[in-house]
Chains A and B, each alone.
Chain A
Amino acid sequence: MTTMTAQTTQVYAVFIKATPEQVWEAITTPDFTEKYFFGSRVTVTPAAYRGLNGEGADLVVGEVFEHDPPRRLAHSWRALYDPATAAEDASRVTWELEPQDGGVTKLTVVHDRLEGAPATAESVAGGWSYVLSGLKTLLETGQPLVG
């Protein structure tokens, strides 16, 4: 997505035919995340959020503020994959998982506090849609998106 000035609060939502437990596992387990999150292996503890590339180098690091499986996860976000984003202030990512009727979970990702991170805001503006579309496809079909 090409935006002149990327938004400092970005909200993304997707309905996934899966339980909150399954969605939680898919966003916190490295074997899952590498299939839809630009290949990054994400680990989440009650203290830290980390996304590593295949060689084990940090792509994204964050401090976990809220860890309430399978309902809510909030952490800071520093993108180290690019020198421009790595030099910026940390932003914040909040994952909200809400069970709906019919075995569906509404997943909302809010990426905010981006005021001190314009390059990060620009970088993630197109990325989150791709990631969440891939996550939904993976959970509903068992297959990662191709291409």
Chain B
Amino acid sequence: MISAEAAGMAIAIAKGVIKLAGRIDRLTAEKDAVTGQLIIPMPPDSDAPDVDAALAMLREYLERTRNDDPDPLAGERGRLKALLAKTPVPDVWIEFFEKLFPEQAHPPAISPDAEYLKALKKWVPTVNWDDNENTQVRQAAFYIAAGRDQRGLGYGARLGLLVADVIAEFGAENTSLFIRDKNAQTIVQSVLQRFSKPDLEDFEDWSPFLRHALSATLNGLLDARTVFDGHAQWADALFEALARARDSAENRDDYLLGLMQGRGYSLLIGEGLQLAGETLASEHAGVFRDIVATFLIDAAPLVKKNKNDFGTFFHEHWGDLVRGGISAVAKHGPQLLEGKSPLLRETLLAVMNQLAATPSTAYFSSDTVLHLAEAALGAVARDPALLDGAVGEKWLKALIASIASTIHDTGLRAVFGRDGLERIFKDALATFAQHPELIIAQPGLARDVVASVLEAVAASEGMEAWPLANAAVSGALQGLSKYPELAGTKFGPYVAELAGLLAQQVKDHGLAAMQAADLIDAAVEAMLRNPRLFAALEKNVATAVLQAVLKAADQGQGTAGQVKLLADATLVEVARDVLAVVARYGIGFVENNSVKLLADRVAETLSAGLERANKEMGRRMDQTALPAVLAALVRKLLRGELADLDPESENFKKLFSEIAEAVAA
């Protein structure tokens, strides 16, 4: 007896074979119709004489019959004569010719195919071409092949796909016969069911077929998502969110494929879920799922409608936006998820809508999008009113547009390169994300501070500009985050001016890029010590002092063979110490004199000090003491205790010695 299982399989095989035979028949019928040989006859040709010869015949006829009685042309002679006298002769001549020379006008037609057959008879005499026994040989001599088929998939490949399709259908219907594991059965069945629809042999090119294969696999896996249940709640939530979004999309299969094809998916899976698993409470999985699903569903029509290539941007970055959301929830607490209309969802949708409306977002890297989402969510978590109506729209527009316009600036891109600019923005946006209050009050900060610093550095057109620019941007933003009140001062523009000065030094005076970055750090540090002096005055004191230090360093070049004292790390230390002294004691000097005089006197003091230091080096001091000694001289200057700036005067020598010995002690 045949077992029930075996009988079932036999029936399944029989059904499969019938299906296979039917579909192969359909395909081979198409193949025969499309690629079948075709005989294309050539129409018979007239052997009538050339028009010039025909006209000559008519003229000759006219002349020859001139005296015939009765006249064969009767009343037409005059007309024909007039006709033939014209140049060119009008078409009516043809009627005369057909009438007067019927045999020449309509000679037996010449068939080009008959001429070809004649040639065959001559050159292939071994075949009796007239014998009907050779009908097929004769036909073959006239066959015109179908030629190139412009489809990418030939009939051989399509036959292969057909067989694969039938096997897939068979496998989908009889998965249990091959696979014992229930989970694996569900997945394989789900994928095969999708793979075998529509009929694979109908594909004419590889590209749509491969697209279908990928789509079927992804959708099949998603259909079988219950198999993964319980392995990771956040993964379940994401799968569920994707499934909901797909079900709501106009073109379900393509929607998922589009999302998966972008880089966003792998980033999300790679990092986002791990973060989610580590930082978010499991009870929020459902809320997260709802939010992501809503976000993806709302994106579909926007992606379709948008003409600014937002589709590509979205496919590449949707994972970054979601990841930014998870990260923001981790940092700012579950309040982003709570409420009837969670802030996370509202903000993500608002950010997405604003991104779609902003040109040039194609230049955004993953880090830019991630931190942008984090920063925006952080700000909204602090102040939910930022999302309200027109105010919210304006706020987000200012934030995103200021970033986009700076990143897209071709001048800046030329100077910093794509990577350099992205690194600067990554750090800047990370600062925004850590200190969302920065952009709550001033959403255009990216434009106001970052861009102005970058533009100042770019103006020098020097190489290796990005470390300096990054230090300046970072310093400025850190400063603003510590002292928010600086936002209304000239702090930002003055930092930009400093960055420009140092960039020029890098270009023209060989200052190393990393030292320039350290110098900007030192300057910003000093500015934050005394914002009243460094950020509120009409003149940029920090730039003036730094210029004085650099001038003294230039003038204090040692003679040949002598070591240059004010260079490299020492230069940075001296600048740091001098700026600190100015921060502490400089306000009185500036109020009673001017910033220019301050700079001139500081430069003179440092030059005199360096000259003495050259002579005292190894006697009363060493190199490490130089920053402290020079800073002490400047302190004396600012406190009005140093009037004589002649390095060879006894007063200066005595003061220098006292300071040097005090520092050494």
Q: Do A and B come from one complex?
A: no
Spell out A's residues near B (CB within 8 Å). Answer: none
Spell out B's residues near A (CB within 8 Å). Answer: none
